[in-house]
Amino acid sequence: MKDTLKPGDKVRFSFRVPAEKTVPHLYPEAAEFREMPTVFATGFMVGLMEWACLKVLEPHLDEGEGSLGVHIDVSHTAATVPGQTVTVDAECTSVNGRRIGFSVRAHDGIDVIGEGRHERMVIAWSRFVARVNDKARQARAEAILHGTGEPNG
């Protein structure tokens, strides 16, 4: 990771919520979720907050690096309907080696819908994929692929 990332670096990131990001779509195999109202799911809100943090980190990563979420502590306090745009403000609050802290806040144009803190760990993708594929071998599971769809390890 470059030494350019500093506390105070921030991004404002917006996303229009489609019907596919509502509670019934979170785990479609779960009847309990399918029976719930079609509002923006907490799980998808968390993912959107992580995405905003990725945008903060993006210009500071070296080739072959990425980051993984290692901690999330957020509220989800208001419902958002499909078609609304959610805007996430993500701000770097700490840089402790490869561990990066963020504050996150999401608003849907009417209400603050969630806020809290998030931490990510900067990693080398090749090392991570190799370690996870060692675990997959131990578990007698299939090897994972890098996000590009290319086989690894």
Q: Which residues are the active-site residues?
A: 42, 50, 76
| Ordered DSSP codes for 59-98 | GGPPTTEEEEEEEEEEEE-S---TTPEEEEEEEEEEEETT
3-state secondary structure of 133: helix
Residue 125: CB atoms within 10 Å: 17
Q: Which residues contact 17 (CB under 8 A, 6 or more apart)?
A: 40, 44, 80, 81, 82, 83, 84, 85, 86, 108
